[in-house]
Amino acid sequence: MTERSANYLYLINSMLWLLTAVLWYVLWYFNPYTDRFEMPAPTVALFGIALFAQYCCFKKMPKALIFLSAVSAFPFGLYLLGTPGIFAWIGVTNILSLIVAIITRSTSDTELVPNGN
């Protein structure tokens, strides 16, 4: 894998996590099934995980951290995938980010280091 394709994978994962964070924000403030001023802890935590994973993609931090973030948000995304409406897209973005994280994680760091020639 070249450095350019690795950068594309980071960019794709970053955009997926940014979309996930936006959807969690919408769920947090505009959920029609909760009180307007209620802040459920899982929503706040997963919004924070989505922002942190997006930051890790931007800074190209260790791939294991991106993978762990994708796995930690995956069960909630799978649950929301079965719900009607816009929040099912959280599940779609979590599945796609998990796939991209696995592809990114499967590449070793030595492949991205130039030969020095």
Domain that holds residue 68: 3-31+39-109
Q: How many domains does the chain have?
A: 1
Residue with tokens 């459920």: 40
Convert the pLDDT of each residue in 46-71 to its tens digit: 888 888 887 887 777 767 667 777 77
CA–CA gap between residue 47 and residue 6 (Å, rounded): 25
Q: Has residue 116 been placed in a domain?
A: no
* pTM of the predicted protein model: 0.75
Convert the pLDDT of each residue in 76-110 to its tens digit: 888 888 888 888 898 898 888 888 888 877 775 54
CA angle, residues 88, 55, 107, in degrees to nearest 5: 85
What stretch of H or E contains 20?
helix 3-30
The residues, any chain, with a CB within 8 Å of residue 8's CB and separated by 6 or more, are: none
Q: Has residue 24 been placed in a domain?
A: yes
CA–CA gap between residue 53 and residue 37 (Å, rounded): 26
Contact of 91 with 109, CB cutoff 8 Å: no
